């Protein structure tokens, strides 16, 4: 789960990470009142969307205008810029061409930027350790820095048995070219960010840019936090920060029915039980020259209702031109699946080809239910046969 910049800064501030003062605003009036409270002379009005590249992004209705992060010098300008941004669609490198509507702003005191650095914390899957990533090349996308000038990135892995130590933070501080009192300030900053990362079960904490101000202070000018969904149950306060408007509606619907659904770019919808079988199904669709429209694992103990919900979810994607159901009835019986498939196909007035491959407990009964349903369901005997049939059926429809 991701959260907004202002929420991340509030959480990090609570751990002792140095962040500028600021406040969230949902209207231009609120933005002006936050600005008055902060006091001038410089404010920054920042679009709050779950995507980066806001500074360089442009509003859809004014591509020649200013971006999603604006530095202004009066309270009037705070509110006029807020009006130009709120309820307008911001397009950035990370939002894709359709952009994201800005519903909230963060109004912050302006900072005097001397240097823009990069600091990130993540779990390195190769070492299984929380790893600090730092670079002198802040303010730009770290992926680009990693690609063009990998020597400008330093990585420091933290052993969970020792936790973060002075030599970790010093290594980072020196790599960032910090000196004097900044080394101590950076140590405090990094320790606090690490504590937040571990205690809140984060997947990513990214400060880009981390700045050095004219007076030599270190501040988080931007903050991104992403959390491990599987640990959210023990962080009710973090879970409450979820902004559903920023998430894929189909994925929210899936979560309600305990379905693991990830939307993809292809045209063949997949309904499978078990993540491994779902991956294999996607692979074999690709092998036969087509692309899956989604990953969907209905789980081991799926009910008829859940199968129906899964079916509707797949069909809510207008790119879907055919569906492949691939179920191994182990704990779940094939006849229950077949009933669910038939009920759902009737319910949604199925309009695309459907191939069903069932195997396992009560498979004969399951196939009988499908055959006697009167619905145009193509039955398959194995995974290979199923993939060939659905790819051919979709190609035939398109021709
Ligand atoms: P992003 O583009 O979505 O990553 O948003 P950021 O929060 O990183 O802001 C983009 C850029 O705006 C930063 O890299 C800074 O150069 C600039 N910026 C943000 N806040 C301030 C500020 O207080 N003062 C000044 N002068 N520039 C700022
Ligand atoms: Mn940034």
For residue range 156-166, list pLDDT tens digits in order.
999 999 999 99
Residue owning the nearest CA to atom 9 of ligand 1: 55
Kindly give the distance from the C-alpha atom of residue 107 to the centroid of ligand 1, in angstroms, as a whole number: 12
DSSP state of 7: H
The ligand minimizing its distance to the Cα of 221 is 1
CATH class of 113-239: alpha beta
Helix (H) or strand (E) holding 175: helix 166-175
Query: DSSP letters of 269-280?
Result: EEEESSHHHHHH
Ligand 2 mean position, distance from CA 205 (Å): 12
Which of ligand 1's atoms lies nearest the C-alpha of 116?
Answer: 14
The two structure tokens encoding residue 66: 């200013």
Q: Which residues define the annotated binding site for Mg(2+)?
A: 208, 222
Binding site membership for substrate: which residues? 273, 330-332
Res 277: pLDDT: 93
Question: Residue 367 — pLDDT band, cuts 50, 70, 90?
Answer: very high
The CATH fold of domain 249-398: Rossmann fold (3.40.50)
Within 10 Å of residue 144's Cβ, how many Cβ atoms? Answer: 10
- Please identify, by atom number, the ligand 1 atom nearest to the C-alpha of residue 47: 3
Strands 354-360, 377-380: parallel, antiparallel or unpaired by DSSP? parallel
Please give the CATH superfamily to which domain 21-109 belongs: ATP-grasp fold, A domain (3.30.1490.20)
Using the predicted structure, report yes or no on whether residue 398 has a pLDDT greater than 80. Answer: no
> 301 C-alpha to center of ligand 2: Å?
43
For residue 294, give the H/E element and its range. strand 294-297
Nearest CA to ligand 1 atom 13: 139
Q: Residue 98 in 3-state DSSP?
A: coil
CA 311 to chain centre: 24
Is residue 118 flagged as an active site residue?
yes
| pLDDT for residue 68 | 97
Report whether pLDDT(324) > 90.
yes
Binding residues: 46, 53-55, 108, 111, 116, 208, 222, 273, 330-332
Which tokens in the block code for residue 39? 């006091």
Largest CA distance in the chain: 80
The pLDDT score that the predictor gives to residue 306 is 85
Give per-residue pLDDT as tens, 102-121: 999 999 999 999 999 999 99
Could you tell me the pLDDT band of residue 388, with boundaries at 50, 70 and 90? very high
Q: Which atom of ligand 1 is nearest to the CA of 57?
A: 2
Query: Which ligand places an atom closest to the C-alpha of 94?
Result: 1
Å from CA of 240 to ligand 1 middle:
27
pLDDT-derived band of residue 332, with 50, 70 and 90 as boundaries? confident
Kindly indicate the confidence band of residue 91, based on its pLDDT and cuts at 50, 70 and 90.
Answer: very high
Q: Where are the domains of the chain?
A: 21-109, 113-239, 249-398
- Ligand 2 centroid to residue 280 C-alpha, Å: 37
Pocket lining for ligand 1, CB < 6 angstroms:
44, 46, 52-55, 69, 71, 110-111, 113, 116, 139, 208-209, 221-222
On the question of pLDDT at 304 being above 80, the answer is no
């Amino acid at each position: 789960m991701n959260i907004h910049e202002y929420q991340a800064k509030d959480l990090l501030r609570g751990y002792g990470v140095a962040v500028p003062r600021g406040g969230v605003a949902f209207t231009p009036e609120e933005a002006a009142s936050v600005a008055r409270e902060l006091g001038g002379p410089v404010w920054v009005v920042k679009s709050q969307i779950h995507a980066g590249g806001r500074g360089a992004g442009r509003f859809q209705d004014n591509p020649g205008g200013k971006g999603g992060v604006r530095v202004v010098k009066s309270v009037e300008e705070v509110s006029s810029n807020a009006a130009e941004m709120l309820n307008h669609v911001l397009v950035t490198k990370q939002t894709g061409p359709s952009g994201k509507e800005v519903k909230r702003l963060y109004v912050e005191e302006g900072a005097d930027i001397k240097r823009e650095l990069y600091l990130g914390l993540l779990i390195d899957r190769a070492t299984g350790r929380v790893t600090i990533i730092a670079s002198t090349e802040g303010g730009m996308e770290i992926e680009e820095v990693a690609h063009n000038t990998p020597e400008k990135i330093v990585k420091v892995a933290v052993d969970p048995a020792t936790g973060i130590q002075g030599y970790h933070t010093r290594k980072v501080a020196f790599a960032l070219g910090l000196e004097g009192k900044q080394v101590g300030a950076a140590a405090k900053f990094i320790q606090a960010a690490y504590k937040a990362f571990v205690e809140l079960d984060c997947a990513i904490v990214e400060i880009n840019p981390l700045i050095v101000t004219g007076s030599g202070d270190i501040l988080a000018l931007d903050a991104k936090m992403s959390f491990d969904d599987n640990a959210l149950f023990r962080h009710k306060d973090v879970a409450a920060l979820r902004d559903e408007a920023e998430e894929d509606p189909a994925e929210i619907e899936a979560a309600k029915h305990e379905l693991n659904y990830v939307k993809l770019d292809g045209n063949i919808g997949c309904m499978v039980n078990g993540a491994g079988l779902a991956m294999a199904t996607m692979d074999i669709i690709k092998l036969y020259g087509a692309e899956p429209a989604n990953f969907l694992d209905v789980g081991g103990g799926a009910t008829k209702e859940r199968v129906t919900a899964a079916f509707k979810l797949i069909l809510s994607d207008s790119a879907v031109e055919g569906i492949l159901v691939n179920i191994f009835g182990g704990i779940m019986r094939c006849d229950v699946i077949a009933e669910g498939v038939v009920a759902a196909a009737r319910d949604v007035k199925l309009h695309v080809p459907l191939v069903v491959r069932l195997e396992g407990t009560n498979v004969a009964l399951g196939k009988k239910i499908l055959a006697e349903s009167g619905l145009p369901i193509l039955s398959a005997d194995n995974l290979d046969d199923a993939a060939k049939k659905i790819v051919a059926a979709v190609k035939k429809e398109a021709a």
